[in-house]
Amino acid sequence: MNFAVSKHRRNLGFTAEGKTCSRLSVRGAIHVRHSSLVPRFAQRSGYNVALFSAILCLFVSAPAFAQGEFAKANQEYAQGHFKDAIASYEALVSAGQWNANLFYDLGNAYFRTRDFGRAILNYERALALDQHHPEATANLQIARDESRALELQPTRLERYLQFASLNHYSIASAVALWLGIFGIVALIFARRRSAALMSLSILCLLVCAVAVWAIYTLDKGSKGRALAIVTGTEVQARLATADTANSVLALPAGSEIKILSTRGDWMYAALPNDLRGWIQTKYAEQVRL
């Protein structure tokens, strides 16, 4: 009897110890596995920190570079080193640091070197970013008078729509669209239909449609995305894509054209005086980058 009990106890003890050993083994394995993951986790964390630091440095250093380069260009311009100033301003343009004042100052530098075509191009770019830039507007007219540049004449509809910029129309269309959507959703879930809310929703959607139509009209118009400036001197618009083709119109530097299509090294454009002709692409640049 005692032998049986003691044997039973020994069996229970062996089982308990086996379970204990089994648990300890599992915990030990988990501990070892976690220990092996620590360096990997630390390594990945190090990569993430390095990546975040690189991105942060990029965002911090880009404005600092732009400010330093802009100050350098302004100093070169003030010292009368206009070609050096142009190189510094163009470096900022190539880096994508675009603003109206940058293009205005670049236009002034080109004007000082009597490169009226590129001066007018950059004044136009300044006004494309800030329609109400009085200095760019005034200097643009002076440069046009100096070079006797030809201008495209906007249609009557374009003149009516030009009281606001494309950005203004874009904001108006977005706000009107969301107000119209909220109004329609409110009408769907409302217990009682409100005539005033329904009228307001329809009015907002109509305003959105008119704003989108105005954006499309201006974007396709004489001052839209296809607007380009002649940067060469005494460029000839021709009837065909050949230097020997008959001339349609002589275009002084700074003249406006509207690009309709391109073919190789030539572009087909709408010209001032309601004419059309072919111009080599190297002699003109689009206003919008």
DSSP 8-state assignment for residue 96: T
The answer to whether residues 209 and 231 belong to one domain is no
Q: Kindly report the CA angle at 141 between 138 and 147, in degrees rounded to 5?
A: 140
Note the pTM of the prediction, 2 decimals.
0.71
- Cα Rg for the chain, rounded, in angstroms? 35
Tokens of 102: 């940058």
Residue 234 domain flag: yes
Please report which helix (H) or strand (E) contains residue 31, including its range.
Answer: helix 2-78
Question: What confidence tier does 64 reach under pLDDT thresholds 50, 70, 90?
Answer: low
pLDDT tens, 152-200?
Answer: 988 889 888 888 888 889 999 999 999 999 999 988 888 787 888 899 9
* Same domain membership, residue 251 and residue 200: no
Asked whether residue 1 is domain-assigned, the answer is: no
Task: Report the range of poorest mean pLDDT among 44-48, 71-75, 178-182.
Answer: 44-48
- CATH code of residue 256: 2.30.30.40
Instruction: Give the Cα separation of 126 and 123 in Å (integer).
Output: 5
The answer to whether position 270 is within a domain reads: yes
The helix/strand/coil state of 250 is: strand
Co-location of 209 and 242 in the same domain:
no
Q: How many domains does the chain have?
A: 2
Answer yes or no: is 59 within a domain: no
pLDDT digits (tens, 9 = 90+) for 208-241: 999 999 999 988 888 888 999 999 988 999 999 9
200 with 236, same domain: the answer is no
The last residue of a domain, from among 179, 195, 219: 219
Task: Name 266's bridge partners.
Answer: 263, 280
Q: Does residue 276 form part of some domain?
A: yes
Distance of CA 65 to the CA centre of its chain: 19
Residues 226/242, Cβ–Cβ less than 8 Å: no
Whether residue 215 sits in one domain with residue 160: yes
- Expressed as residue numbers, the domain containing 260 is 227-286
- The domain boundary, picked from 186, 203, 219, lies at 219
- Does 192 fall in a domain? yes
Please check whether residue 235 lies inside any domain of the structure: yes
Q: Which of 175, 191, 219 is the last residue of a domain?
A: 219
The H or E element spanning position 152 is none
User: Is 177 a domain residue?
Assistant: yes
Mean pLDDT for all residues in the chain: 82
Q: Is the pLDDT of residue 25 over 70?
A: no
Query: Is residue 271 within 8 Å of residue 288, measured between CB atoms?
Result: no
Q: Are 151 and 140 in contact (CB under 8 A)?
A: no
If asked whether residues 161 and 214 sit together in one domain, one would say yes
Evaluate whether 79 touches 88 at the Cβ level (below 8 Å).
Answer: no
Nearest Cα to Cα of residue 206 among 185, 182, 186, 180 = 180
pLDDT at position 203:
95
| CB-based contact 280:251 (threshold 8 Å) | no
Tell me: do 214 and 171 sit in the same domain.
yes
